[in-house]
Structure 1
Amino acid sequence: MLQDFVFVFVAGLITALATGLGAVPFFFIEEFGDRWNVALWGIASGIMVSASLFGLINEGLAYAADGLPTLMVGGLLAGVVLVEVSDRVLDGTDVGGRSEADADTNDADTDESTQSPDAPIDVEAFAEGDPKKLVLILGILTVHSFPEGVAVGVSFAELGFDGGLGIFGLSVPVLAVFMTIAISIHNIPEGTAIAIPMRAMGLSKWRMVGAAVFSSLPQPIGAVIAFAFVRWAEAFLPFGFGFAAGAMIYLVLTEFIPEALETGVDLPRSGYRELSAGIGAGVLLMVPLLFV
């Protein structure tokens, strides 16, 4: 069991480290194209929705007692509620110590080059390095990253069971592999959103990478917690699968796609072409899941 927990934690850690990749292009180029970011948001969206529909929901239905997916439907609704509540908490909190109203007032006087609406953290507060603010930032990021961590953890529910892929001597569910990849891809443009204003502030490139990784550190913890829940409370597996699916689909509809369109607003056709291509590519990547 300890080996399983370590494996799931490492998978979650991989998704966190992937956020740092969003800052890597700034080691080589001055500007980072919006077209790339929009396509990545699209790929992540396509993979997550497909994984939720073809993988998580199918698994939840398979575990449903007597063919009644009551627990799974309850999990779907709970996942939506979690994301909505998290959004409201984040909207009303400013890790830099200002209220949202103050932030709106002061942002008008702030150099736009240091602002990034897609960044999940207050980069100025992070750059200051105040330990108290860093603790607050980590708390806010826990709320921000928990749904993704849950999706990774739940997807590993059948870790060690027959029928998975052999990785380091363990039978790893195909769904878990795809979900880890999906979250990692999603985290790359999020890391870029953090790096852009930090670059404008003149911070070092490795500081940008560190900030990006820091923003996703709660994900491996959330993955382990979710994995422990579904392994120790097998009767609630349908709820767990539904919970992860509900959170993922709602995140895609309310955050990923809107952020992609916001990023591509200056592109031809407002980035819809890149977003559609990315979503299509993401769905195609998940086709093998239908035959597992």
Structure 2
Amino acid sequence: MAFLENLLLVTLAGLVTALATGLGAIPFFFVRDVNNRMNVVLWGFSSGIMISASLFGLLREGLAEGTPAELAVGMAAGVLLVVSAHNVITNAEVDPRQYEEADFKKLLLILGVLTVHSFPEGIAVGVSFADLGIEGGTTIVGFTVPVLAVFMTVAISIHNVPEGTAISIPLRAMGVSRWKMVWWAVFSSLPQPIGAAVAFTFVRLARDVLPYGFGFAAGAMIYLVLTEFVPEAMELGAELPSGGKPEFVGGAVAGALLMVPLNFV
């Protein structure tokens, strides 16, 4: 019975981090229309967030858990995921009554990759709860919770907010409603409570696969930015002065500056 109670607590912690992703869509409740210049800036901002989170968050954590070779294998698998997802989505049947065909495919690709990438973060939460119930932690609602678990849950929740913004940027450009943006942002992180529960149950195995998981997520995110976000921004900025490159770079720098400190929380 105690194990089930502990498992429930860990799953709830993962759910908290997932719900935090939805907060990233809140700014769009105050913004109606986004012109091409602003869209380019936002795509750059989104790219800066993802590249920074990959380099200074996922890869840094991966190196702390494993070897560069293990990370490289994970990254290659992540790139393979994006390539495979792109091929599947390119041939997928779409409903033109909901979205333009290209936009719907891009929506599926972005959400699919981000959903998969959130699973290793859930694993990290579950692993941090490995010592749940053992002396030396802090007491929360009757549970002795490891300090590491508290910091990990808070850190990933903070980390997920700008990721929710990154998800909402392309959705907003596609005309998706605000509340649906909140839902899709949360949806992309729903694997986190699942990953937390699995990792807590099989913590020894989870520790072994963590380096591959972090590399997998980083490879998928970086490749997605390079093959989807950058081309989309350049297409939107084609008619702007200098092809929209200054706007894109400015947005990317802003996104990186936001994420770098959060990755060291």
- TM-score norm. by structure 1 comes to 0.67
Shift of residue 19, structure 1, vs aligned partner: 4.9
1:1-292 mapped onto 2 (5 Å cutoff): 1-16=7-22, 18-19=24-25, 22=28, 25-26=31-32, 31-64=33-66, 68-96=67-95, 115=100, 117-120=102-105, 141=108, 144-159=110-125, 160=128, 171-173=150-152, 176-177=156-157, 179-195=159-175, 208-213=177-182, 215-216=184-185, 218-228=187-197, 230-231=199-200, 232=202, 233-288=206-261
Distance 1:38 1:223, change over 3 A: farther
Shift of residue 91, structure 1, vs aligned partner: 0.8
Distance 1:254 1:226, change over 3 A: farther
Structure 1 contact 71–239 (Cα < 8 Å) conserved = yes
3-state SS of the aligned residue for 2:220?
helix
- TM-score norm. by structure 2 comes to 0.73
Counterpart residue identity of residue 240, structure 2: L
3-state SS of the aligned residue for 1:240?
helix
3-state SS of the aligned residue for 1:9?
helix
Between the aligned residues of both structures, percent identity stands at 37
Alpha-carbon distance in structure 2 between the residues aligned to 1:91 and 1:158 = 33
3-state SS of the aligned residue for 1:49?
helix
Alpha-carbon distance in structure 1 between the residues aligned to 2:119 and 2:56 = 17
Shift of residue 272, structure 1, vs aligned partner: 0.8
Alpha-carbon distance in structure 2 between the residues aligned to 1:261 and 1:178 = 30
Alpha-carbon distance in structure 2 between the residues aligned to 1:291 and 1:214 = 28
Distance 1:94 1:210, change over 3 A: farther
Alpha-carbon distance in structure 2 between the residues aligned to 1:250 and 1:35 = 24
Unaligned runs of 5+ in 2: 1-6, 132-140
Alpha-carbon distance in structure 2 between the residues aligned to 1:172 and 1:60 = 18
Alpha-carbon distance in structure 2 between the residues aligned to 1:180 and 1:172 = 14
Counterpart residue identity of residue 161, structure 2: I
Alpha-carbon distance in structure 2 between the residues aligned to 1:291 and 1:32 = 32
Number of aligned pairs? Answer: 236
Distance 1:32 1:97, change over 3 A: closer
Aligned to 2:135: none
Unaligned runs of 5+ in 1: 99-113, 122-139, 163-167, 197-207
Kindly report the root-mean-square deviation, in angstroms, between the aligned alpha carbons of the 2 structures.
3.4
